[in-house]
Amino acid sequence: MNVKLNLAILAALLASSALAGAAESETDKSKSPTTRPAAKRLPKPREVMKDAVDPFYPPKERGRFFTATGPDSEMSADEFSAARGKKDSFVRVFDTFKAMTRFDRNSNKTIDWFEAKAYREDIRKRVLAVFDADKDGKLKGPERDKANRMLASGKVPPAKSGESASGRPSGAEDWEKRRAEMIAKHDADKDGKLTGKERQAAWDDIRKQWATKAFDENNDGKLDEEEAAAMKKAQAEGKAVYDRWRSDWVKKYDADGDGELSEEESKIAREKAAAEFRKLRDNWTSQWDADGDGKLSDGERKAMRESVRNRAQELRKEIDADGDGRITGQETQAFFQKLRKTYDLDGDGTLSSEETRAMIQDQMRRVRAPKP
């Protein structure tokens, strides 16, 4: 079992431009037969792309997206329309639901976050292609002004000739390509799809590729002896934790004591676990409920996301031991070894479900609402 951290990284872009004008002296004016009128300055365009295009900041956009979607976490055409024009909304002046549905991969006529993220990345790619004159990956000064003017008018640069008709960015196309390769590689019965053992083999292959990328310290595309040893050690530790959790789970909910969970016992276990999670979540989020009305307003959710983002930055610095801005598999492994030593109260080398619960609760306590 691989342990993955999804960390939010705040990318702040500070753009400034200086305008200077040299006044002509009275002598110069007398020599000029005519005085040219001053060029009319265009008003500063309103900022419409921050977080959505440049910089594209997924954590903040994700929060806005889920605020608009409601409990099902999928955006419908009606929810899209209802979100338009609202303050701090996911839906911007340049967004259209029709354009977004080009990324509806499962064709269910609603948009999930991953589809919305692909849509945003596609817009960013198009805008940078047109307005990023110095090709530094950022829009500043006149570049940003021009881009803001176009987007504020409700227009988005068109896709280049030859790009995917679906409008999907290269990342989505790469995934489709890899998916086709996996089917071709693991489809033993050649029926065009993966089932059972075929799917398991494909996922094992994908996990191997991910693990290679995580532990490839020298970025040469393969694992040397030391890197492979580090990966195997991490995998063995992950499996030990999983086996311990599963054993604890069975012992806790195995009502008839036969060493296995029946379908009914598994159902009861899932329901109790879900109830415990909801209680833990509600207790944690309640600290941001400033007015005590039992729910989080948009402002309170914003404060919560800011606290989570700040803690994520601190956590990333803790994991990134060499401070090079890149978290490697070995750094992640070292971080979890440190956590394990801290929370492994019985000293057996693995975390039980109760020890893991204590670790999670402790980490959650470190994400605190600011004091009023």
Residue 297 reports pLDDT greater than 50: yes
Q: Exposed, middle or buried: residue 334 (CB in 10 Å: 0-12, 13-18, 19+)?
A: middle
Residues 164 and 282 in one domain: no
Q: Is residue 214 part of a domain?
A: no
Residues 253 and 312 in one domain: yes
Give the end of a domain, one of 115, 144, 171. Answer: 171
Q: Is residue 205 part of a domain?
A: no
Residues 167 and 224 in one domain: no
Residue 12 has, within 13 A of its CA and on its CB side, a CA count of: 3
Q: Is residue 183 part of a domain?
A: no
Report the pLDDT averaged over residues 200-227.
79
Most confident of 41-50, 235-244, 287-296, 328-337: 287-296
First and final CA of the chain: distance in angstroms? 41
Q: Is residue 64 part of a domain?
A: yes
Mean pLDDT of the chain: 79
Residues 96 and 223 in one domain: no
Q: Is residue 2 part of a domain?
A: no
Structure tokens that stand for 201 in this block: 């083999």
Residues 228 and 349 in one domain: yes
The range of the structural domain enclosing residue 233 comes to 219-365
Q: Is residue 224 part of a domain?
A: yes
CA torsion angle for 146, 149, 152, 155 (degrees, to 10)? -70
Give the end of a domain, one of 171, 202, 229. Answer: 171
Could you report the per-residue pLDDT of 81-138, keeping only the tens digit for each? 999 988 889 999 999 999 999 988 878 888 988 889 999 999 999 999 999 999 888 8
Residue 26 reports pLDDT greater than 60: no
Q: Is residue 36 part of a domain?
A: no
- The predicted model scores a pTM of 0.40
Neighbouring residues of 127: CB distance < 8 A, sequence distance ≥ 6: 49, 53, 54, 139, 147, 151, 156, 157
Residues 164 and 54 in one domain: yes
Residue 299 reports pLDDT greater than 80: yes
CA torsion angle for 277, 281, 284, 285 (degrees, to 10)? -170
Q: Is residue 371 part of a domain?
A: no
Distance CA 49, CA 46 (A): 9
Residues 223 and 361 in one domain: yes
Could you report the per-residue pLDDT of 320-344, keeping only the tens digit for each? 888 877 777 778 878 888 888 888 8
What is the number of domains present in the chain? 2
Residues 109 and 241 in one domain: no
Query: According to the model, what pLDDT value does residue 172 have?
Result: 52
Could you report the per-residue pLDDT of 240-269, keeping only the tens digit for each? 878 888 888 888 888 988 888 888 988 898
Residues 161 and 228 in one domain: no
Per-state percent for the chain, helix, strand, coil, to nearest 5: 55, 0, 45
Query: According to the model, what pLDDT value does residue 173 have?
Result: 57
Residues 153 and 263 in one domain: no
Residues 227 and 353 in one domain: yes
Give the end of a domain, one of 114, 148, 171. Answer: 171
